[in-house]
Chains A and B, each alone.
Chain A
């Protein structure tokens, strides 16, 4: 029989995975819209693109703060080993997010054309660098972190490797795809058509990225490989790649046929499947390859106290977040904006 100190960290791991997934999907599409600024230069289109995300990006980014805070409170052992291990990419990511976050406001406040141009560039460069860092952190995390006696004991540049760079580029591709499919949904006419074409290209690129990362990952650590190819595990895990393929086909056909919402939701499903695959790979490690979920958890009293509130507050939060999205639903077109 297992007691609370066994079950609670599992519940919390599920909550953390939920918070991270929500973050990836929500901030993913608005970072993606930011990156698409690099190829869409028409001022009108750029303004429509920003208008689709302006009322919601603050809330999207909050899921990332929640992820950090929950790790801090419930998995301090993970928080205190992972963050020093990714000191450089986290710092660069935070600074990029600062630039990107303020460029929302600054680009509309800028007085001269050169200033406007500058803050527009900051918007997409900041989005791109922040996204790359998130992918690189993910890659560095999956490939493993040196920990001795519960303290990070590696080098400041351990995270940097061909694999983490691939992950960084993949996440850039993926967020851009989320952004493009979001724009297919939320814009119309010429911009919708353009977004559709970007989405087609990006979905192919994203598919190749998923294949490459999936093929590489099992060879990073011995237990990863066993998880995926050993009988009978293979029965349980094989639906994941199959679903990836099915979702891809649905998305492609929907993009061809003029589907509005479904490409975005297919892109979300791709992300969730990728995260699921990742979770299957590293389970039950929280800091691979040494610390398991239970090794990094807070005392039971902390976990219970935080769980009581979280169980109430996350549904409430989701409810008013959905409400806010509902208020700003519909196509953002040239003529109406938010007037």
Chain B
């Protein structure tokens, strides 16, 4: 029988994992899409080719919907630290709360302030200023990611503080050291690229879908779909391999600063040099071994330390109450890596098909890209689980335990809110997802302005002037 406090802690953790897991998809989408929109509008202004404006108008509607969902799910996050994690906010607020405030001041307002102009302002401000608004929104999403990743990285690799001996609070001493903590650059780039990849796969899949449909009807070559498909695959071709390199560097950084996380995600129990890489297995926390392991000799050391006899830590090096739950991170990490490898293959495949001039013709490849639509998001969520669960049992690595971070809130309140969140999120964001699919099901070729006026972005609600 678990202690009531442990149940409350577990519920709080589930609630946080659920709400942030849903939320994180939206900002990732917004980051990638905002940058894509800025690129599209930029090319349109430069080349005056109608197809880029068509694509801009097509995707800006999706952006508006996703951004709206991101805002409302994000407001929840800003308050959840207080409702469910008051111990954490009390002790670490002087650092993470300050970083979050900077995010709001430098990014949220910027995005929200210029979003109105981006969506509704084309005919009020003119093309150039409208482009500035699009770029500002894109910049805002990137700045936002920077602060959040800085804050999260500080929780993973804290530095630049000392601990108040009386209150146990973190006292910031060196803000530059806090912001530019050791894992921050790797995490920021890794997360940024994953947002680009996620959106590239989503855009690519939508392009593939419309190309497949056009092939069936043979009525048009669907130029806009070709352009978005091609752009998305260029992105994948270059960014997927780059992501592998960044991920590898991030791994070296984690080995240096969070060896227990590496041990948990590798499923290694004994510290070894010349460690094998466990391809598959089932880590067992009680028996302290990884069952049914399929291993590649030396590969563990080679991957993690870039040398055949590098030392790789095992979980037994760490006290039992300082080990992350290995099975969760073991699998989430492997799914992420497997998807990453698949993405690289897709990129190379597209190069081959381009060379053979069959990029838009190969049904197999179009279907493959269509199936990979969620690949980026799934990989990102798995990476997020790996890094967050891998930090357990700490909220601030090595300094503040998750158990000491929770609020003095009753398990009943937590149960109530968790159930509400799950039901409402599934309904609200599920509906949003259906709307998104419906929106994207319409071909970008379909003209959406009958009167021939140039319009950018959202149309306001139709107001019937006859009445």
For A171-186 the 0/1 string (1 means CB < 8 A from B) is: 0000000000000000
Is the CB of B65 closer than 8 A to any CB of chain A? yes
Digit string of A313-339 for contact with B (CB within 8 Å is 1, else 0)? 110010011011001100000110111
Q: Is A68 an interface residue (CB 8 A)?
A: yes
- Report the nearest B residue to A119, measured CB to CB: B431
- Indicate if the CB atoms of B413 and A305 lie closer than 8 Å: no
The interface size of chain B toward A, counting residues with CB under 8 Å, comes to 83
Q: How many angstroms from the CA of A43 to the CA of B464 in the assembled complex?
A: 9
C-beta contact mask, B389-424 vs A, less than 8 Å → 1, else 0? 000000000000000000111101100110011001
Asked whether, in the complex, the Cβ of B68 is within 8 Å of the Cβ of A79, the reply is no
Instruction: List residues 70-87 of chain A with CB under 8 A from any CB of chain B.
Output: 70-74, 76-77, 79-84, 86-87
Q: Which one of A86, A109, A337, A339 lies within 8 Å of B439 (CB-CB)? A: A109
Contact between chains at B175 and A62 (CB < 8 Å): no
If over half of A's interface residues share one DSSP class (helix, strand or loop), that class is named, otherwise mixed; here it is helix
Given contact pairs A55-B120, A298-B94, A69 touches B420 in the complex (Cβ within 8 A): no
Interface flags for B280-324 (1: CB within 8 Å of A; 0: not) read: 000000000000000000000000000000000000000000000
A279 at the interface (CB under 8 A from B): no
When distances are taken between beta carbons in the complex, the residues of chain B under 8 Å from A328 are 116, 120-121, 124
Q: A76 to B89, Cβ gap below 8 A?
A: yes
- B contacts with A: majority SS: helix
Tell me the nearest residue of chain A to B91, going by C-beta.
A76
Given known A76-B97, A327-B125, contact A59–B109 (CB-CB < 8 A):
yes
Smallest beta-carbon distance B127→chain A, Å: 15
> Which of B74, B95, B461 contacts A108 (CB under 8 A)?
B461
User: A72 and B114: CB pair below 8 A?
Assistant: no
> Bound state CA distance, A206 and B432, in angstroms?
36
Residues of B within 8 A of A102 (CB): 68-69, 72, 428, 431-432
> From residue 81 to 102 of chain B, which have CB atoms closer than 8 A to chain A?
81-83, 86-87, 89-91, 93-102
B173 at the interface (CB under 8 A from A): yes
Instruction: Give the residues in chain B near A72, CB-CB below 8 Å.
Output: 78, 81-82, 89, 93, 96-97, 100-101
Q: Give the shortest distance, in Å, between A186 (CB) and chain B (any CB).
A: 13
Output the nearest chain B residue to A42 by Cβ-Cβ distance.
B467
Closest residue of A by beta carbon distance from B418: A91
- Contact status of A61 and B424, CB under 8 A, knowing A71-B82, A73-B101: no
Tell me whether B76 and A55 are in contact (CB under 8 A): no
**Contact assessment for B116 and A310 in the assembled complex, using a CB-CB cutoff below 8 Å:** no
CB pair A305–B172 under 8 Å, yes or no, is yes
Q: Which residues of B contact A70 (CB under 8 A)?
A: 97, 101
Contact with B along A282-326 (1 / 0, CB 8 A): 000000000000000011011001100110011001001101100
In contact, A299 and B169 (Cβ under 8 angstroms): yes
B339 within 8 A of A: no
- A153 sits at the interface (CB 8 A): yes
* Interfacial residues of chain A within 15-71, with CB under 8 A of chain B in the complex: 43-44, 47-48, 50-51, 54-56, 58-59, 61-62, 64-66, 68-71
Chain A CB count within 10 A is highest, among B74, B116, B164, for B116
The closest CB in chain A to the CB of B407 belongs to A84
Measured between alpha carbons, how far is A153 from B72 in the docked complex, in Å? 30
Q: Does B104 contact A (CB under 8 A)?
A: yes
Q: Which single residue of chain A is at the shortest CB-CB distance from B467?
A: A44
Q: How many positions in chain A have a CB within 8 Å of any CB in the partner chain?
A: 76
Q: B residues 146-174 with Cβ under 8 Å of A?
A: 164, 169, 171-173
B46: which A residues are within 8 A, CB to CB?
A: none
Chain B residues in 8 Å Cβ range of A98: 72-73, 75-76, 424, 428
Kindly report which residue of chain A lies nearest to residue B461, judged by CB atoms.
A47
In the complex, how many angstroms separate the beta carbon of A69 from the nearest chain B beta carbon? 4
B3 at the interface (CB under 8 A from A): no
Closest to B171 in A: A299
Shortest C-beta distance, B131 to chain A (Å), equals 15
Evaluate contact between A324 and B464: CB separation under 8 angstroms. no
Question: Is B112's CB under 8 angstroms from A62's CB?
Answer: yes
Complex CA–CA separation, A43 to B466 (angstroms): 13
Interface check B356, CB cutoff 8 A: no
8 Å CB contact of A55 from B116, B164, B407, B428:
B116
Interface presence of A104 (CB below 8 A): yes
Residue contact A69 to B104, C-beta cutoff 8 Å: yes
Q: A59-B109, A72-B97, A98-B72 are in contact. Are A83 and B86 (CB under 8 A)?
A: yes
Given A51-B463, A69-B103, A72-B96: A302 in contact with B113 (beta carbons within 8 A): no
Minimum CB–CB distance for A133 against chain B, Å: 12
B90 touches A101 (CB 8 A): no
Instruction: Say yes or no for A151: interface residue by CB 8 A criterion.
Output: yes
CB distance from A14 to the nearest CB of B (A): 15
Q: Quick one: given A47-B461, A99-B428, A310-B101, are A80 and B120 in contact (CB under 8 Å)? A: no
**Known: A87-B409, A95-B420. Contact between A334 and B428, CB under 8 A?**
no
Q: Does B438 contact A (CB under 8 A)?
A: yes
Is B71 in the interface zone, CB < 8 Å from A?
yes
In the complex with contacts A58-B116, A76-B97, A65-B75 CB distance below 8 A: yes
Question: A94, A101, A156, A301: which has the most chain B beta carbons within 10 Å?
Answer: A94
Check B381 for interface membership: any CB of A closer than 8 A.
Answer: no
Q: Tell yes or no: A158 within 8 A of B by CB.
A: no
Tell me whether B245 is interfacial, beta carbon within 8 Å: no
28 inter-chain pairs at a CB distance below 8 angstroms, sorted by A residue, are A58-B112, A58-B116, A61-B112, A65-B78, A68-B82, A69-B78, A70-B97, A73-B98, A73-B101, A77-B90, A83-B407, A87-B83, A88-B413, A91-B417, A98-B73, A99-B424, A106-B435, A109-B65, A111-B438, A156-B409, A156-B410, A299-B169, A299-B171, A306-B98, A328-B124, A334-B463, A334-B465, A337-B461
**Which 3 A-B residue pairings sit nearest by Cβ, starting from the closest?**
A83-B82, A76-B93, A73-B97
Given contacts A69-B78, A305-B172, A337-B462, 10 further A-B contacts (CB under 8 A): A73-B101, A74-B101, A79-B97, A86-B83, A101-B72, A102-B69, A151-B408, A299-B169, A306-B101, A328-B121
